[in-house]
Amino acid sequence: MDLNTKNTWCPGCGNFAIEKAVKKVIEKIGEENTVITAGIGCHGKIIDYLNVSSFYGLHGRPVITATGIKIGNPDLNVIAFTGDGDSLNEGVSHLVHAVKRNSDITVILHENRNFALTVKQFTATSPRGFISNSSPSGNIEDPINPLALVYASGGTFIARGFSGNVYQLQDLIMQGVKHKGFSFIEVLQPCVAWFDTYDDYREKTYNLEGVPKDPLRKINEWNYENGGKIPLGVFHKEEKESFEEKMSRGDKKINTKEFLKNKA
């Protein structure tokens, strides 16, 4: 599945763990029936590193592109890679609506909590006070909690992993891909260049024991600021008919000639 391309992620980047985990998953589910898509940002470079059919789309749009791919060919496994800047800033409407319609796609959110490829600006998940090139005296906005957003929009599979734990990540992604309907996996992916949170995450993360009965309480345990513990694992899972299943295709009954005859 490897491509002979030059990897340009920074040494130690949290994206390597995502790549590793995803490769394992795709190997298991089959490369031929898998299509990946991505937006623009460091996360998107994964497209150039995997020898799998792909649509390398626009900034903020991989989630809706993925739905389009799934409508076009429901037999494909469709995985959308996106970043916090990509799908919580630029393309947040697409994320909310893909969740709402329970589109049968898997979204992997590379959560590095800053715009990294454009050399450090604050995003929707940067903490308050975050010093960046567009917030030199500290971010004055509060962060959004993407899991809460997805839950409020009706998410049927919500999980959080961490680049520091590839095996768990692989398991979460596999569960997500197998989930019928929309699956959302946020991956805490420290940005070694601009926002190195490895130590912080190692200290604060812990694994959920099973799927919690009260997902919202666990989702809100960490507020993307500095305090609190950070739960990892599956927060919510439910069975619901997917959007593409409901999109009935019908049986061709009429043709244009007949149609025009009725209009005479």
Partner 1 sequence: MNDIQIIIGGAAGDGTKATGHLIGKILNRGGYKVFIHEDYSSLIRGGHNFSVIRGTKNGENCIRESADFLLALNEDSVDRHIGKGGVLIYNSDQVKKRDGIGVPAETIAKEEGAVIMKSNALLGALCKIIGVSWELIGDVFEGFPHSEKNLKVVRRVYDSQEEKGKMKKTKESLSLITGNEAIALGALEAGMENYFAYPMTPSTSILHFLSKIKEAYKINVFQPENEIGVINAALGCAFTGKRTMVGTSGGGFALMTEGISLAAMSETPIVVVESQRAGPSSGTPTYNGQADLNFALNPGHGDFLNLVFAPGDAEEAFYFSNLAMNMSWKYQIPAILLVDKDISESTFSFDKNTLKGVKEWKEKKGRNSKGYHRYRITENGVSPLVYPGGKAVVKSNSYESDEYGISTEDPQMIKKMQEKRMRKERDIKEDLKETIKIYGEGDKVLFCWGSTKGAAIAAGREAGYKVVQILVFNPFPEEKVREAVKGCKEVVVVEANSSGQAAEILKRYILVGRKILKYDGRPFAKEELIEELKK
Phi, psi of 191 (to 5 degrees): -100, 105
Query: Counting Cβ atoms within 10 Å, is residue 39 exposed (0-12), middle (13-18) or buried (19+)?
Result: buried
Q: Does residue number 51 form part of the binding site for partner 1 (CB under 8 A)? A: yes
Segment (H or E) for 71:
helix 62-72
Contact 215, 158 (CB under 8 A): yes
> DSSP code of 75?
T
The region of 25-33, 119-127, 148-156, 187-195 touching partner 1 under the rule CB under 8 A is 25-33
Nearest approach, Cβ of residue 44 and partner 1 (Å): 9
Among 10, 20, 68, 230, which residue interacts with partner 1 (rule: CB under 8 A)? Answer: 68
Q: Does residue number 69 form part of the binding site for partner 1 (CB under 8 A)? A: yes
In the three-class reduction of DSSP (H, G, I as helix; E, B as strand; rest coil), residue 35 is classed as strand
The region of 145-153, 198-206, 221-229, 245-253 touching partner 1 under the rule CB under 8 A is 245-253
Q: Does residue number 247 form part of the binding site for partner 1 (CB under 8 A)? A: yes
Nearest approach, Cβ of residue 259 and partner 1 (Å): 7
Q: Does residue number 246 form part of the binding site for partner 1 (CB under 8 A)? A: no
* Sites for partner 1 among residues 87-126 (CB under 8 A): 93-94, 96-97
Q: Does residue number 259 form part of the binding site for partner 1 (CB under 8 A)? A: yes
Among 58, 131, 174, 230, which residue interacts with partner 1 (rule: CB under 8 A)? Answer: 58
Nearest approach, Cβ of residue 1 and partner 1 (Å): 10
Among 65, 121, 168, 205, which residue interacts with partner 1 (rule: CB under 8 A)? Answer: 65
Helix 15-29 vs helix 166-178: angle between axes, to the nearest 10 degrees?
50
Of 184, 16, 232, nearest to 87 by C-alpha is 184
Contact 139, 126 (CB under 8 A): yes
Q: Does residue number 254 form part of the binding site for partner 1 (CB under 8 A)? A: yes
Contacts of 95 (CB under 8 A, 6+ apart): 63, 82, 87, 88, 107, 149, 150, 153
- Token pair listed for 10: 């920074």
Q: Does residue number 33 form part of the binding site for partner 1 (CB under 8 A)? A: yes
Q: Does residue number 48 form part of the binding site for partner 1 (CB under 8 A)? A: yes
* Alpha helices, H only, 33-178: 46-49, 62-72, 84, 92-100, 146-152, 166-178
Among 56, 180, 196, 230, which residue interacts with partner 1 (rule: CB under 8 A)? Answer: 56
Segment (H or E) for 79:
strand 77-83
Among 7, 10, 20, 76, which residue interacts with partner 1 (rule: CB under 8 A)? Answer: 76
- Chain contacts with partner 1 (rule: CB under 8 A): 3, 5, 31-33, 35, 37, 40, 45, 47-48, 51-58, 61, 64-69, 71-73, 75-76, 93-94, 96-97, 247-254, 256-257, 259-261, 263-264
